[in-house]
Structure 1
Amino acid sequence: MEEVEVVVAHRDCATLRVGAVFLKIDSDQSRTEVEVRAMALAPIPTPEIRWREPPVLALAALPGRALGRLGHPETASSAAWVAAGATIRKLHDAPLPPFPERSRADLAAEVDGECAWLLANDVLPAEVVTRNRELADPALRPWTPVFIHGDLQVSHIFVADDEVTGVIDWTEAARGDAHYDIATLTLGHQTRLDDVLTGYGPGLDPDVIRAWWSLRCLRGIRWLIEHGFDPSLPGGEIDILKSRM
């Protein structure tokens, strides 16, 4: 009998591992629809769909291991990070997916609302929130949309022998800013940005990527707290915001 491992679980969804199969259970099947469609369209390796019986999506485990984890020491080689950058470039060069794009105005309103919540609840000192909101502003300039993964955390890219074996968790796939995916990948692993950009190639502005670091952290802290995660853990979102002062 295979053991059941809880990979992640909160009030919206859960992912379980049973042997070589991941079972994703989502209360909102529209997210699963996006995931299935995005994996079919993406020109990069993705998990094999074993079966789908709503609300469960069964995916085959990818070979290798995650490129890293936020707040944990780095173990992957420089070559693996370069390979990750090259893989992301293939995705961003693909035709646009049939998914909506968040407007810059909506993103600005959202991050301003999150900043107000952080201040009202004394989550962070006012100077940390204010300074990071300033640092985030360059991310909200006009951009040419590309096919983005939308939640390209370092734990969502799998590698083996310094090659990417697949990318998981496509529920946030959309049209958006290429800098956002790179910022999400390097969040908490800022020293790897040069490696990722080496693999990615020309066309991105490192200062805009750094702006997205602040914006993503400001946007994410309340969600993490409300879903049972701790953004104050070493190397997490609060540490990142403080380090940007």
Structure 2
Amino acid sequence: MDEVEVVVAHSERATLRVGDVFLKVDADEARMDVEVQAMSLAPVPTPQVLWRKPPALAIAAVPGTALGRLGQSSTAPPATWAAVGAAVRKLHEAPLPPWDGRRRRGPGELAAELEGECELLVAHGILPADLVTRNRQVAEAALRPWTPAFTHGDLQIDHVFVDGDEVTGIIDWSEAGPGDALFDLATLTLGHREHLDDVIAGYGTDVDLDVIRAWWSLRSLLGVRWLVEHGFDPFAPGREVDVLRSRM
């Protein structure tokens, strides 16, 4: 019998794997609704939904291997990263999904959230003031109006599966909704800036690289305290704090 593997677990949700089946448990039924709907609408490979009985959702494993892991070097060649860029462009060009995106904030809301989070990071001694100040300055370039696109919303490198130069599946769609396309590109390349040019080549259109770099700082600043409080280590090599340090 296959062993039960805990893929991720924290106070909001948990994901278990048994063989080729992933069981996701989420107390927020609306978030699960988004995940199921997004997978049905996205014009890219997504996992097969096996069954759903709130608070649980069972999905099939996708073929291939993860594009990489945050904090580790990716062995995928440039052509694979370019293929991922092309798939992300296809998603962003799709019709907007028929929901607002509960966690999608506009520039004003993000600015207020960033200000409060930076104050807490310094006040609690989590990060030094100069590191926070510098990255807050960089992050401001992301705080501008954008045209909403169909975004994944949490396009981490290990949520993208590939086989050679083919994207075989993109997983974890609970944050999907209308949003800033450059946020997806920034999340995908967070900690892997050496592959940004490959992704953009596959994406096939000009993008503002300063905004992508701004999202690296913004996402990291907003994530560090949450990660610490939920048992993750943003200080590990190559992860969020190293991303922030690279801006100094």
TM-score by length of 1: 0.98
CA distance in 2, matches of 1:29, 1:227: 21
User: Counterpart of 1:110 in structure 2: which amino acid?
Assistant: E
Please tell me whether residue 126 in structure 1 is matched to residue 121 in structure 2.
Answer: no
CA distance in 2, matches of 1:202, 1:55: 40
Q: In 1, are the aligned partners of 2:47 and 2:60 still within 8 Å (CA)?
A: yes
Structure 2, gaps ≥5 residues long: none
Q: In 1, are the aligned partners of 2:114 and 2:221 still within 8 Å (CA)?
A: yes
Q: In 1, are the aligned partners of 2:126 and 2:225 still within 8 Å (CA)?
A: no
User: Counterpart of 1:89 in structure 2: which amino acid?
Assistant: R
Aligned to 1:56: 56
Q: List aligned pairs for 1:1-245, cutoff 5 A.
A: 1-100=1-100, 101-245=104-248
Structure 1, gaps ≥5 residues long: none
User: Counterpart of 1:214 in structure 2: which amino acid?
Assistant: S
- What is the CA-CA distance between 1:142 and the residue it aligns to? 1.1
Q: Runs of 4+ in structure 1 displaced over 2 angstroms?
A: none
CA displacement, residues 178-235 of structure 1 (integer Å, 9 cap, x when unaligned): 1000000000000000000000011311111001000000010111011110110011
Q: In 2, are the aligned partners of 1:99 and 1:173 still within 8 Å (CA)?
A: no
RMSD: 0.8
Q: In 1, are the aligned partners of 2:139 and 2:218 still within 8 Å (CA)?
A: yes
TM-score by length of 2: 0.97
- What is the CA-CA distance between 1:131 and the residue it aligns to? 0.5
CA displacement, residues 128-150 of structure 1 (integer Å, 9 cap, x when unaligned): 10010000001011111101100
- What is the CA-CA distance between 1:29 and the residue it aligns to? 1.2
CA distance in 2, matches of 1:43, 1:202: 19
CA distance in 2, matches of 1:175, 1:116: 29
CA distance in 2, matches of 1:50, 1:67: 24
Number of matched residues?
245
User: Counterpart of 1:143 in structure 2: which amino acid?
Assistant: W
Q: In 1, are the aligned partners of 2:21 and 2:58 still within 8 Å (CA)?
A: yes
